[in-house]
Amino acid sequence: MKRLLLTALLALGLALQAGTAAAHHGWSWTTGGNIELTGVIKTARLGNPHGVLEVDVEGEIWTIEVGQPWRNERAGLKDGDLAEGVEIRVVGEPSANAADRLLKAIRVYIGDKEHILYSGRN
C-alpha cells in the first residue's frame, strides 16, 4: 500500500511539473494582446529553450523572452544584435500578471530593421 501511494504521489508531482513547464513555454501565461516597449538591453542570455533579455524601459527592468537560436537567426538577428547597451523596440504579449514585467517578443526592432520572431500573432 505504501509503495502504491508513493508511486501515485511521484506521478502526480511529475505531472504538475510538466504542466507548469508547458504553460510557461506556451502562450497561456500572456494576456493575448500586444504592447510595445522601447529600452536598452542590460543583460542578454541567448540560447535554448529561448533567449532572455533584461531591458531597462524608462527605469523599470523588463524581462523579454525572445526566440530560440534558430528562430532568432531565421528572423535575421545576428550575433551582437541582442547585446548589452543596444536600444531595442519590442512588440509582444505581456504576462497576465502585470507585476511580472515579463513580455514574450513577437517582433524586435533594432534601429529601422524589423525582426519577426512569430508570424500570425499580430
Q: What is the pLDDT of residues 56-102, one digit of tens each?
A: 999 999 999 999 999 999 999 988 999 999 999 999 999 999 999 99
- Structural domain tally of the chain? 2
Same-domain pairing of 12 and 45? no
- pLDDT for res 2: 57
- pLDDT for res 21: 42
Same-domain pairing of 91 and 44? yes
**CB hemisphere CA count around 43 (13 angstroms):** 6
- pLDDT for res 121: 62
Q: Is there a domain that residue 48 lies in?
A: yes
Q: How far is CA 34 from CA 11, 78, 82, 90, 94, in A?
A: 37, 25, 21, 10, 7
Q: Is there a domain that residue 63 lies in?
A: yes
Q: How confident is the model at residue 16 (pLDDT cuts 50, 70, 90)?
A: very low
Same-domain pairing of 62 and 82? yes
Boundaries of domain holding 2: 1-30
Same-domain pairing of 73 and 111? yes
Q: Mapping DSSP to helix (H, G, I), strand (E, B) and coil, where does residue 57 land?
A: strand
Q: Is there a domain that residue 106 lies in?
A: yes
Same-domain pairing of 20 and 59? no
87-94 and 52-57: which strand pairing?
unpaired
Same-domain pairing of 4 and 20? yes
Same-domain pairing of 109 and 89? yes
Give the separation between CA 72 and CA 78, rounded to whole angstroms: 8
Q: Is there a domain that residue 122 lies in?
A: no
- pLDDT for res 61: 98
Q: Is there a domain that residue 121 lies in?
A: no
Same-domain pairing of 52 and 26? no
- pLDDT for res 20: 38
Q: How confident is the model at residue 32 (pLDDT cuts 50, 70, 90)?
A: confident
Q: Is there a domain that residue 81 lies in?
A: yes
Same-domain pairing of 70 and 92? yes
Give the separation between CA 102 and CA 92, rounded to whole angstroms: 10
